[in-house]
Amino acid sequence: MNILIIGGGGREHTIAWKLAQSPNCGKLFVAPGNAGTHEIATNLALGVTDFEGIKQAVLDNSVGMVIVGPEDPLVNGIHDFFLADAQLQGITVVGPQQAAATLEGSKEFAKEFMKAHNIPTAQYDSFTAETVEAGCRFLETMKSPYVLKADGLAAGKGVLIIEDLAEAQDELRQMLVGKKFGAASQKVVIEEFLDGIELSCFVLTDGKNYLTLPMAKDYKRIGEGDTGLNTGGMGAISPVPFASAEFIKKIEDRVIKPTMDGFQKSNLPFQGFVFIGLIKVGDDPFVIEYNVRMGDPETEVVFPRIQNDWVELFQAVGTQTLDQHQLQIDPRTATTIMAVSGGYPEAYEKGKTITGIESAEDSVVFHAGTQMESGVVKTSGGRVLAVTSFGADHKEALSKSYETLEKIDFDGMYYRKDLGFDL
Ligand code: AMP
Ligand code: GLY
């Protein structure tokens, strides 16, 4: 079976790395891919929302399965595009249809879904430019800090957490009336602040059955001690030490099962990965958000721990036979550390030569923002490499990743040295 992966980050390199290990994997393509996927697959120079280009590549290369990495093509309806096309109908697409992808594309839609299906989440209300003054009064009824969320996709920047009431009211006006996040903030969800520790839960579903993947925790802030600006993710750990079997059972009963039932009842066709962003408040799980894809860098620790044949698992998603599979999970801890470009998540330079990747011994180096230029690996993005290692616990795994990172270099390279500090 020839397979195409859509995307070009660390998540897609990791998925490609797993698929390439399967005897059932035919030719493997990644669009657009990076210097890491270039080593193990054929990169195709296509944009992730260039559906016509993707169609042509699928037909030209007899691709039988498409794995969609990022949210953009899903929210834009890539799965529906395949279903509506006579030549593409029979091809397995891993990733939900547009109606279900709206769970990530609209925060209000996700909150309504949770309310309708009794899934624990923060209290909320949503507002538009017409109701901005009601929104300001609503804020007066809430306790500080105030959580304001742009309804639409805002590249991870659309959530503001503000201590001061007047400042929160001012931000609400800027979002709704001042169009701070453009179309993404035409609506704003205001919600109760939840105080706890976050974790990421992943579920693979075929639309009928599902498998719960190992839990993971990612580190979003650029600075040590979880300070500074939000990033796409600076590192991750799996399993999560504070997610006991008892707590995972609560997640299963209160969140995952009602979510899966909710897909049926609300008629949301979902074949793919559900990423449930959770927060542990006391001993109870609450949902912060849904994403309709795997997390990045969580994939770089979750996938290496799953020993199954991933071509078989993805085929089972297509044939709705996931109930015939059980996950085989490596009990060891996996950690990944992201090496990023100097300046990220603000302005940074690209095109820096990366050295030392081949000297990694006890780690796997997944590429994110890298590009092959005349046989040389160069930086091409903010998050550049994810260095994954295994250990008996997160400390042992992290020390291997740090050791590997000491051998890798590019101009301006930065990584956090405190992952796991809160565990
Ligand atoms: P989101 O884009 O919804 O994942 O929000 C981004 C980040 O904001 C989350 O990862 C949390 O750290 C934080 N956050 C979002 N909603 C809440 C909430 N209700 N209470 C506390 N923190 C929140
Ligand atoms: N690591 C968080 C995300 O993928 O959105």
Residue 7 Cβ contacting ligand 2 at under 6 Å: no
pLDDT in tens, 103-142: 999 999 999 999 999 999 999 999 999 999 999 999 999 9
**Residue 153: predicted pLDDT:** 87
Residue type, 141: T
Residue ranges, CATH 3.30.1490.20, the chain: 125-191
Provide φ and ψ at 87, rounded to 5°.
Answer: -80, -15
Phi/psi of residue 46, nearest 5 degrees: -130, 145
**pLDDT (mean) for 283-305:** 98
Q: What pLDDT score does 129 carry? A: 94
Best substitution site from 181, 279, 284, 290 to test ligand 1's pocket, by max atoms within 8 Å of Cβ? 279
Average pLDDT for the chain: 96
Cα(49) to ligand 1 centroid in Å equals 27
Say yes or no: CB of residue 296 within 6 Å of ligand 2: yes
The residues pairing with 254 across neighbouring beta strands, listed in sequence order, are: none
Mean pLDDT of 6-26: 98
Residue intervals of the chain classified under CATH 3.40.50.20 are 2-95
Contact assessment for residue 62 and residue 75, using Cβ atoms and an 8 Å cutoff? no
CB 168 within 8 A of CB 176: no
Residue 355 pLDDT exceeds 90? yes
CA 109 → CA 83, 113, 116, 125, 130, distances in Å?
A: 24, 6, 10, 12, 19
Give residue 67's pLDDT. 98
CB atoms within 10 A of CB 97: 23
% of the chain surpassing 70 pLDDT: 100
- The residue whose C-alpha atom lies closest to atom 5 belonging to ligand 2 is 295
| Alpha carbon distance, N-terminus to C-terminus of the chain | 42
pLDDT of residue 157: 79
Question: What does the block give as tokens for 397?
Answer: 């795994």
Residue nearest atom 3 in ligand 1 by C-alpha distance: 289
- Ligand 2 contacts CB of residue 218 (under 6 A): yes
Region 243-249: mean pLDDT is 97
pLDDT tens for 300-349 read 999 999 999 999 999 999 999 999 999 999 999 999 999 999 999 999 99
From the CA of 218, the nearest ligand is 2
Give the model confidence (pLDDT) of 192-223 as tens digits: 999 999 999 999 999 999 999 999 999 999 99
Q: Which homologous superfamily does the CATH classification assign to the domain defined by 125-191?
A: ATP-grasp fold, A domain (3.30.1490.20)
- The pLDDT tens digits for 377-401 are 999 999 999 999 999 999 999 999 9
The answer to whether residues 272 and 375 touch, using CB atoms and an 8 Å cutoff, is: no
Architecture field, domain 2-95: 3-Layer(aba) Sandwich (3.40)
Which residue minimizes the CA distance to atom 4 of ligand 1?
289
Q: Tell me, what amino acid is at 84?
A: A
Q: What residues pair up with 94 in beta bridges, in sequence order? A: 67
The preferred substitution site among 288, 292, 296 for testing ligand 1, maximizing ligand atoms within 8 Å of CB, is 288
> Which pLDDT belongs to residue 317?
98
Please check the confidence at residue 156 and state whether its pLDDT lies above 80: no
CB 16 within 8 A of CB 37: yes
pLDDT for 154 equals: 84
- Inter-CA distances, 361 with 254, 288, 300, 310, 386, Å: 42, 37, 17, 24, 14
pLDDT range class, residue 66, cuts 50, 70, 90: very high
The residue contributing the CA closest to ligand 1 atom 5 is: 159
Burial class (CB in 10 A: 0-12, 13-18, 19+), 193: middle
- pLDDT class for 155, splitting at 50, 70, 90? confident
